[in-house]
Amino acid sequence: MKVDGKDMRPIWFDPYSQRVQVLDQRFLPHELVVNTLATVDETIFTLKEMVVRGAPLIGATGALGVYISLVQKDHKGADNDYLLSECRRLKDARPTAVNLAWGVDRVMAAALKYEAHEKRVQAALDEALTIIEEEAVNCRKIGEYGLPLIEALSRKKKGEPVNILTHCNAGWLACIEYGTATAPVYTAFDAGIPVHVWVDETRPLNQGSRLTAWELGKHGVSHTIVTDNAGGHLMQHGRVDLVIVGTDRTTRTGDVANKIGTYLKALAAKDNGIPFYVALPSSTFDWRLTDGITGIPIEERDPDEIRYVQGLCNGRSEKVLVPPENSPTANHAFDVTPARLVTGFITERGVCRATEEGILSLFPEKTPVTK
Ligand code: MRU
């Protein structure tokens, strides 16, 4: 996507330096910082500390992490045990987003097809870059398949802006291009359909107010940041036409793990008869799971993310303590929205109902083989 006229992605491989580079999302929107990843430890730090975040981008970073493990200077010619244990470490960096294990396993399998180290390195890089390009295309298709939903609402509203509420950042910063939840919004905007986005600020790390608002603003999309608890009120007063969110892991039966607070938005949408769509590439389905509430691991993060708020103060980035010094905090990063609250999924293969049958109608190759 373009930032101030310049093409930008949240991760890329620089062919000149042969290095992996990422946009450091901790400093957005106020500073554009680029980091180089040269070791697996740096890649794990980047994942854990949310230098990069968002399910498809986590998958892409893990994929390139496998390549990094192979080119890390002190491990040239390393054996299979080394590769497997580095892949394990990468996969453990963030537990909820299934894209991480998917990306790491896919690149590891591509590398292990070869015995010679140099061939493994090339295979790992090629596969990781293929994943990145595929995810970019998938997100573009999600935009194309989501567009008719917004067009239909726009027709119903006779050209008045369609109000779309989103939670967290499921934009291009979380993916590679277009985003998942934002892809239909960008596609509609680019097609000249008036849209307005309610952006949940998304505590504690404010991915909505820091990242989604920045992205939408850079693209010229009309938006308003609201507190995480405002959605229900807006829905009751007819100010939300559609909810679209992303997801970090979705079961084959349609239960959706996404940033904490998503479930409450889905409940409010149901109560108010507002369509609640989840946009995702197929890399975010966990085809093994049938029950999201018991099966999806929910990441618990550093309590300091709740205790401190970071922002710009007199032109400098500052962190300030909000609650009483000694009050305990609990930082559950995701929740699970049961399939019954989801109107449908927008995927790279089309839109489907949030049921196992609906999902398998788009992904028939995932139908379990019965004997
Ligand atoms: O903790 P984060 O910022 O990685 O969580 C991201 C989200 O919950 C997004 O909404 C989700 O990954 C979908 S990203 C397309």
The pLDDT score that the predictor gives to residue 49 is 97
Percent of the chain surpassing pLDDT 70 = 98
Query: Which amino acid is it at 290?
Result: T
Q: List alpha helices for the chain, DSSP H.
A: 40-48, 55-71, 80-91, 99-111, 117-156, 183-190, 213-219, 231-236, 262-271, 292-295, 304-307, 356-362
Region 31-51 average pLDDT = 97
The pLDDT score that the predictor gives to residue 73 is 63
Q: Which of 248, 255, 286, 335 is catalytic?
A: 248
Q: How far is the CA of 173 from the centre of ligand 1 (A)?
A: 10
Clarify whether 248 is annotated catalytic: yes
Q: Which domains does the chain carry?
A: 2-134 (1.20.120.420), 146-366 (3.40.50.10470)
The pLDDT score that the predictor gives to residue 75 is 64
The pLDDT score that the predictor gives to residue 2 is 82
Q: Which two tokens stand for residue 285?
A: 């389905």
Region 323-335 average pLDDT = 97
Q: 125 to each of 30, 106, 136, 192, 292, how far by Cα in Å?
A: 32, 12, 17, 38, 33
Q: How far is the CA of 98 from the centre of ligand 1 (A)?
A: 11
The pLDDT score that the predictor gives to residue 38 is 95
The pLDDT score that the predictor gives to residue 159 is 86
Regarding the beta carbon of 168 and ligand 1, being less than 6 Å apart is answered: yes
Regarding the beta carbon of 60 and ligand 1, being less than 6 Å apart is answered: no
The pLDDT score that the predictor gives to residue 4 is 86
Nearest to 219 by CA among 143, 156, 158: 143
The pLDDT score that the predictor gives to residue 34 is 96
Regarding the beta carbon of 55 and ligand 1, being less than 6 Å apart is answered: yes
Mean of all residue pLDDT scores within the chain:
96
The pLDDT score that the predictor gives to residue 79 is 86
Residue-wise pLDDT tens digits, 152-208: 999 999 989 999 999 999 999 999 999 999 999 999 999 999 999 999 999 999 999
Q: How far is the CA of 96 from the centre of ligand 1 (A)?
A: 10
3-class secondary structure, 223:
strand
Residue identifier of the C-alpha nearest atom 12 of ligand 1 = 54
Residue-wise pLDDT tens digits, 241-258: 999 999 999 999 999 999
Whether the pLDDT of residue 370 is over 70: the answer is no
- Binned at pLDDT 50, 70 and 90, residue 292 comes out as very high
Regarding the beta carbon of 256 and ligand 1, being less than 6 Å apart is answered: no
Whether the pLDDT of residue 114 is over 70: the answer is yes
Q: How far is the CA of 356 from the centre of ligand 1 (A)?
A: 23
The pLDDT score that the predictor gives to residue 297 is 98
Residue identifier of the C-alpha nearest atom 5 of ligand 1 = 54
Produce one character per residue of 330-339: b if its CB has 16 or more CB atoms within 10 Å, e if not: ebebbbbbbb
Contact 246, 170 (CB under 8 A): yes
Hey, which of 259, 260, 285, 336 would you mutate to test ligand 1's pocket, going by the most ligand atoms within 8 Å of its Cβ?
259
The pLDDT score that the predictor gives to residue 153 is 98
Residue-wise pLDDT tens digits, 48-90: 999 999 999 999 999 999 999 999 866 666 789 999 999 999 9
Whether the pLDDT of residue 303 is over 90: the answer is yes
Q: How far is the CA of 29 from the centre of ligand 1 (A)?
A: 17
3-class secondary structure, 117:
helix
